[in-house]
Chain A
Amino acid sequence: MTFPLVASAIKVFVVFNLIMVGVALLTLLERRVCAWMQDRLGPNRVGPQGLFQPAADGLKNFLKEETSPAMADKALFTLAPIVSFVPALLTFGVIPFAAPLPTKWGVVPMVVADLPVGFLYILAISSLGVYGIVLAGWASNNKYALLGGLRASAQMISYEIALGMSTVAVILLAGNVTLSQVIAQQQHGLPFVIPLTIAFVIFFISAFAETNRLPFDLPEAEGELIAGYHTEYSAMKFSMFYIAEYSNMVTASALMATLFFGGWDIPFTHWDDTGDPTVTKTLLTLAAFGLKTFAFLFTYIWVRWTLPRFRYDQLMALGWKVLLPLSLAYITVVAVAIWFIRIRLGWEYGRGMAAALGGLNLVLLIALVWWLDRGRIVSGSVQEETA
């Protein structure tokens, strides 16, 4: 009885620390990749290749003076970074990150909590993050912070719908919301990115908006709002927002890897998910999961240093007029297709079904790209001048 408790405690500790270290290294990676993309070198002085730069930054943030605006709502002002920080970390709890680990006392599943409602839990907790940002914007008693907070709430609520809708397709195909089961399904057949390409595209775009990253970082649009919702924050409180933003990125990347790229599964092989669990399998699948997550994290950074920021009305138009109808239409199509294949043809999820759905998605994707390619989406929102 005590063993699962001890195992859970150890897992919580390890996962928490891994995320914290990962987030720290991610901030360094962001700065260095940004520099490389601009033909610079980036921070490389503190430690080998600048590896201790995050530690130096962290130390600086601890030692800096905490300022608090005179007219701020003190309680909410202090609460906001916590409210933003905690859900960012909580979400990771249900994501399986490796094959089960065999120990002397029994097999330990490599997930902090394999909740039966795993995915719903993620949707519920990740939407809490918006409270932190809105509270920060409100409690600061600063017009820029307030505008940032307002934008954040509108943006995150808008894109959450598209995000949730795109995952309905995953749930339809997997027939389960437990993330370990979703992974198991993908191990039987192909990763869900093939049968559900468009759902992945929608999820990918919405995830950018959900994590307030460029091109959707309007809540902190520094050109317009100074720093948006965290304008008035300093020292560790600011750092908490920063960590929260990066933890959200890690979680979103891990989710994309889990839902669409088979999670910890090593692609195109079966030895890792069949047979008895071994330590080697655990380590290799952990590496596979890390690699997949890292690929998405890199994409986040890559996109950030490529694309300019959207205008606010363009952001809203993309969310409500494109992604939401698209995801709804896609659910309909996929539901019909799955019904047809499962009930009429009597197939179970496997390579055949994945390939069939993949073909359907390819056709839809080509149509979608052809339509998007007309410049109708992000063209000027205002009427053209009649020459």
Chain B
Amino acid sequence: MAIGVKVMKRPTQQTSYLRATLKGMALTFSHLLRPKVTMQYPEEKSSKDWTLSSRWRGTHRMLTDEQGRAKCVACGLCPQICPANCIKLVPGEDEEGHRYPLIYEIDEFRCIFCGYCQEVCPEEAIHVGVHYENSEYSRDRFVYDLERLTAQTHPVSTLWDPSDPKGE
């Protein structure tokens, strides 16, 4: 016996490997016939057991008003609060004194999807989205400009559970 090997005390008389084997075989065979849990992903994106949460924080979406303009008033709160410093905002002002973003870009590579931008936005303009299919052919396609952000159509995140807003 090797030195210092701790040996577990196991029952020898009552254990039956033969019966355990047969039991195991029966179990695996029964699993053969059970319903499968696999989701056929590209065709099937949610099942009755599983859907993406409405609180999912994915790539952003800029909401628009009735005229199709971005709701953003370029107040500068989102680049201010962004912990990853991924939002680039250059404010502009039109003849009537309305502020609007001249440049609004989000670097989705830097983004950590915390959702603070949505939380802080007074106009409910910028949102994180319930969306995850983001693949692109080049890296620079991951800096989303204003046009692209407003063109997104996926649902936006609720950030918190409406029935339990404090997370209790």
**Interface positions of A (Cβ within 8 A of B):** 33, 35-41, 302-303, 305-307, 369, 372-380, 382-385, 387
- Contact between A373 and B7 (Cβ–Cβ < 8 Å)? no
Given the complex of chains A and B, what is the CA–CA distance between A382 and B8 in angstroms? 9
- Contact between A382 and B1 (Cβ–Cβ < 8 Å)? yes
**Interface positions of B (Cβ within 8 A of A):** 1, 5-19, 21, 24-25, 27-29, 31-32, 34-38, 40
Given the complex of chains A and B, what is the CA–CA distance between A277 and B29 in angstroms? 39
Q: Known A36-B31, A303-B25, A387-B9; judge A373-B16 contact (CB<8 A).
A: yes
Which residues does chain A contribute within 8 Å of B6, judged by CB atoms? 385
Which residues does chain A contribute within 8 Å of B36, judged by CB atoms? 35-36, 39-41
Among B10, B15, B17, B38, contact of A41 (Cβ-Cβ < 8 Å): B38
Given the complex of chains A and B, what is the CA–CA distance between A378 and B31 in angstroms? 26
Which residues does chain A contribute within 8 Å of B35, judged by CB atoms? 39
- Contact between A375 and B12 (Cβ–Cβ < 8 Å)? yes
Given the complex of chains A and B, what is the CA–CA distance between A383 and B10 in angstroms? 10
- Contact between B18 and A373 (Cβ–Cβ < 8 Å)? yes
Given the complex of chains A and B, what is the CA–CA distance between A380 and B40 in angstroms? 44
- Contact between A382 and B7 (Cβ–Cβ < 8 Å)? yes
Residues of A contacting B: mostly = loop
Given the complex of chains A and B, what is the CA–CA distance between A277 and B9 in angstroms? 63
- Contact between B16 and A376 (Cβ–Cβ < 8 Å)? no
Which residues does chain A contribute within 8 Å of B16, judged by CB atoms? 373-375
Given the complex of chains A and B, what is the CA–CA distance between A373 and B13 in angstroms? 9
Q: Known A36-B32, A387-B9; judge A372-B18 contact (CB<8 A).
A: yes
- Contact between B10 and A379 (Cβ–Cβ < 8 Å)? yes
Given the complex of chains A and B, what is the CA–CA distance between A21 and B71 in angstroms? 63
Q: Known A36-B36, A40-B38, A302-B29; judge A375-B24 contact (CB<8 A).
A: no
Which residues does chain B contribute within 8 Å of A36, judged by CB atoms? 31-32, 36
What are 27 contact pairs spanning A and B, CB under 8 A?
Answer: A35-B36, A36-B36, A39-B31, A39-B34, A39-B35, A39-B36, A39-B37, A302-B29, A303-B25, A306-B24, A306-B25, A306-B28, A307-B24, A373-B18, A374-B12, A374-B16, A375-B11, A375-B12, A375-B14, A375-B16, A375-B17, A376-B12, A377-B17, A382-B1, A382-B7, A383-B1, A383-B7
**What's the minimum C-beta distance from B22 to chain A, rounded to whole angstroms?**
10
Which residues does chain B contribute within 8 Å of A372, judged by CB atoms? 17-18
Which residues does chain A contribute within 8 Å of B27, judged by CB atoms? 306
Which residues does chain A contribute within 8 Å of B24, judged by CB atoms? 306-307
Given the complex of chains A and B, what is the CA–CA distance between A322 and B27 in angstroms? 27
Which residues does chain B contribute within 8 Å of A384, judged by CB atoms? 7, 9-10
Which residues does chain A contribute within 8 Å of B14, judged by CB atoms? 375
- Contact between B28 and A305 (Cβ–Cβ < 8 Å)? yes
Among A41, A302, A369, A385, contact of B28 (Cβ-Cβ < 8 Å): A302
Given the complex of chains A and B, what is the CA–CA distance between A39 and B14 in angstroms? 32
Which residues does chain A contribute within 8 Å of B5, judged by CB atoms? 382
Which residues does chain A contribute within 8 Å of B15, judged by CB atoms? 375, 379
**What's the minimum C-beta distance from A50 to chain B, rounded to whole angstroms?**
12
- Contact between B31 and A37 (Cβ–Cβ < 8 Å)? yes
Given the complex of chains A and B, what is the CA–CA distance between A319 and B17 in angstroms? 16
Given the complex of chains A and B, what is the CA–CA distance between A380 and B11 in angstroms? 10
Given the complex of chains A and B, what is the CA–CA distance between A37 and B26 in angstroms? 11
**What's the minimum C-beta distance from A182 to chain B, rounded to whole angstroms?**
29
- Contact between A380 and B31 (Cβ–Cβ < 8 Å)? no
- CB-based nearest A residue for B11: A375
- CB-based nearest B residue for A308: B24
Which residues does chain B contribute within 8 Å of A377, judged by CB atoms? 17
Which residues does chain B contribute within 8 Å of A35, judged by CB atoms? 36, 38
- Contact between B17 and A38 (Cβ–Cβ < 8 Å)? no
Which residues does chain B contribute within 8 Å of A37, judged by CB atoms? 28-29, 31-32
Given the complex of chains A and B, what is the CA–CA distance between A307 and B8 in angstroms? 21
Which residues does chain B contribute within 8 Å of A39, judged by CB atoms? 31, 34-38
- CB-based nearest A residue for B38: A41
| Among B14, B27, B38, residue most surrounded by chain A Cβ atoms (within 10 Å) | B38
- CB-based nearest A residue for B15: A375
Among B7, B25, B32, B38, contact of A380 (Cβ-Cβ < 8 Å): B7
| Among B11, B14, B29, B31, residue most surrounded by chain A Cβ atoms (within 10 Å) | B31
- CB-based nearest B residue for A380: B10
- Contact between A385 and B37 (Cβ–Cβ < 8 Å)? no
**What's the minimum C-beta distance from B144 to chain A, rounded to whole angstroms?**
32
Among B10, B11, B25, B37, contact of A302 (Cβ-Cβ < 8 Å): B25
